[in-house]
Amino acid sequence: MPWEPIKLNSGYSMPSITFGTWKLGNGDDPISQVDQAISVGFNHFDTAQSYRNETEAGVAIRESGLARSEIFITTKYSGTDGLDIKTSIQNSLKNLGVTYVDLYLIHHPRLAVPDIPTVWKEMEALQAKGLAKSIGVSNFGVHEIALLLASSNIKPAANQILLHPYVYARQSPIVEYCQKAGIVIEAYSPLMHVFPLTTLPGGPVDDPVNDLAAKYGVTPDQILLAWTKSKGAVVVTTSSKKSRLEGYLSAGDLELSPEEVTAIDLAGAAMPRHLKIARRVAVTCLASTVAWGILRMLGY
């Protein structure tokens, strides 16, 4: 299936679709879900210090019987428990049961204490020691990336950001900036349009996505993944359902035309009426954690 590997500026290649463990929690569930993802063909796994399931991901990866070189592992420095980067990477390697990770990210710019240039030097040192083959960032905007590049010896290999049609207009400056700088964009929550909004349906992206799903005989989530792929981004997604995971991999075969991509872009550019209502509810009722949660995940 044509989810072709993407070449990083570090010289390594990264699988262009990733199974994420953000919402899996810990215990037996993430072990079984990572194992299931491996069984259907995923070979790139994304976790983080703050997800607290690196150990479970590591168990499933080791029990798969695959060679270390056949699995691409991404994890992140999240500043959990107040630990510094040097300690955090060692803990992550121990939890995962590996001697290196393929990609190590700073989870958010606010974690760059005392400042981005200082923390990035620490990341560069980790790569020099072979603890991470590639290093990068997450949730960095244009200003933060520019500040980092101004003082770095090594460019970030990737910037993992929220990306789906309803935030594309807002995120396009950082997408374009990174692409010009040779930094790969990873898109998390690319299906945020499909699943959380089932409780608040009717957004303007529904029409072009559903029309294209009918045209190609596929599901709306597959169209959204094809849209994400069209932006040159690596997809970070997840599901507990085997059939859905298989569909995600099959979506690599979809190629949307420029006109079809633009139709989704234009539909996503306007904030949906139901999100305006949710924001109004959240503003007038601070106890509305559901409304705030939906808006936060959608990038508003």
Cα–Cα dist 71/84, whole Å: 26
Find the distance separating the first CA and the last CA of the chain, reported in whole Å.
34
The Cα 200–Cα 90 span in angstroms is 43
Counting DSSP H helices and E strands in the chain, the numbers are: 12, 10
Residue 166 annotated among the catalytic residues of the structure: no
Q: What are phi and psi of 257, to 5 degrees?
A: -75, 160
* Count of beta carbons in the 10 Å neighbourhood of residue 52: 17
Is 164 annotated among the ligand-binding residues?
Answer: no
Catalytic, out of 12, 51, 188, 248: 51
Residue for token pair 């409780």: 199
Token pair 């207009």: residue: 169
Scanning 8-164, the segments in alpha helix (DSSP H) are: 28-40, 54-63, 85-96, 116-128, 142-151
| C-alpha–C-alpha distance, residues 207 and 258, integer Å | 17
The residues carrying an active-site annotation are 51
Q: Write out the binding residues for substrate.
A: 107
